[in-house]
Amino acid sequence: VKIYGNGIIDYNPIQLDAQEITINWEENFMQANGIADSTGKVQGKPIFKNGNEVYETNEIKYNFKTEKASITGLVTTQGDAFIHSDKVFKNANGELFNQTTLYTTCNLAHPHYSIKARKVKVIPNKEMIAGPFNMIINDVPTPLGFAFGMFPDQQSRTSGIIFPDFGEENLRGFYLKNGGYYFAFSDYINLDLTGDLYTKGGWAIRAKSTYNVRYKFRGNFAATFSKFKQENETTLEDNVSNDFRLVWSHSPEAKGTGRFSANINYATNSYNRNNIQNNQNDQIRATLSSSINYSKTFAGTPFSMGLSGRYNQNLSTKQADLLLPDLTFNMQNIYPFKKKGSSGNKWYEKVNFRYAMKATNKATNRLTVPVTTEDIFDDE
């Protein structure tokens, strides 16, 4: 059986579209491919769909009996990345064996950059094993790579390598950004360790994590340290900047007698100027605020306390204001003459007293202009 011209085989959830599909029932064999037009360009290349997975190919050969397949010119997606394979073989267990595979985030048919592996084995819903592989930039191999690599299936929560983005900046040259490793310690905590590398000497390293202990607390944090060099046009010397930023949010979920929360947003004064932000609001924000709070109720007593601290900084003026500690201590109303079980209608039973204390310490680096004798005895 041969199907010409936009042939479709639909066997839910599997669908195959191709310009030409050939089925040989006697040999349990199927082949799908495109057809070259008058200009020599191949039209109607096979597109294989399995649920949400889409595979674009040059040719597919499949044996119904052995469940083995041979695929040439495979292109598919995995998350935000694209995978190009010259030739792929599938065995009866569903495992894929790829020859000359490119892994890239560039969406062009001929990507500007990629990670190239000579041989790749894919175990569905488990992992991808590759080796050796190295970074390719504009068809030029680089020494960046490894002899062997094992990458988890991204459909499951598991640890694995985070592939970097490639690009160029005017001041810092070519870069590899956001490459690193993802640690899935458990369903309650994870960690991203990523970094950037620039050809003109700059680099950055980041750590991001989220955590959630059910019925107790949850939070997230992100820390970044960067170092960049920029040539001074006047002195022709390199200006080196070291920057740091910390963002931490922590909140309790339990209703115990003690509660701790934090909202930290701190950065060095030159951080926003030297680091390109994904969020435009972060790029233009000049004032950062941080706070921590702890409250405690002493069970079985009328006493409670609160302890907090605040830190405000202006990245433009470099002014910093610190409020630490801000302490409060309270005692609820006590009726010393009221008898247990009494209605409290007598005048002396209504006598009560309570106690409240507040202590605050403030500090700032804001400088005041000193008054001189010239200002006092000014003739004008």
User: What CA–CA distances, in Å, run from 196 to 175, 176, 228, 307, 336?
Assistant: 7, 6, 11, 39, 67
Q: Which residues contact 26 (CB under 8 A, 6 or more apart)?
A: none
Q: Which residues contact 253 (CB under 8 A, 6 or more apart)?
A: 214, 215, 216, 217, 218
* Cβ contact 23:1 at 8 Å: yes
pLDDT in tens, 202-211: 899 999 999 9
Q: How confident is the model at residue 377 (pLDDT cuts 50, 70, 90)?
A: very low
- Nearest in space to 324 (alpha carbons), one of 296, 295, 290: 290
Burial of 46 (0-12, 13-18, 19+ CB in 10 A): buried
Tokens standing for residue 346: 């007598």
Amino acid letter, residue 67: E
* Cβ contact 262:306 at 8 Å: no
Tokens standing for residue 210: 């989220």
Other beta carbons within 10 Å of 288: 20
Residue 361, Cα to own-chain centre: how many angstroms?
38
Percent of the chain residues past pLDDT 90, beyond the cut: 35
Helices (H) and strands (E) in the chain, counts: 3, 28
pLDDT in tens, 51-96: 777 888 999 998 888 888 899 998 887 766 788 999 999 888 878 8
User: What CA–CA distances, in Å, run from 292 to 189, 253, 258, 324, 348?
Assistant: 22, 16, 14, 10, 43
pTM: 0.59
Q: Taking all residues of the chain, what is their mean pLDDT, rounded to a whole number?
A: 84
Q: How confident is the model at residue 373 (pLDDT cuts 50, 70, 90)?
A: very low
Query: Which ranges of the chain does DSSP label H, i.e. alpha helix?
Result: 271-274, 280-284, 373-376
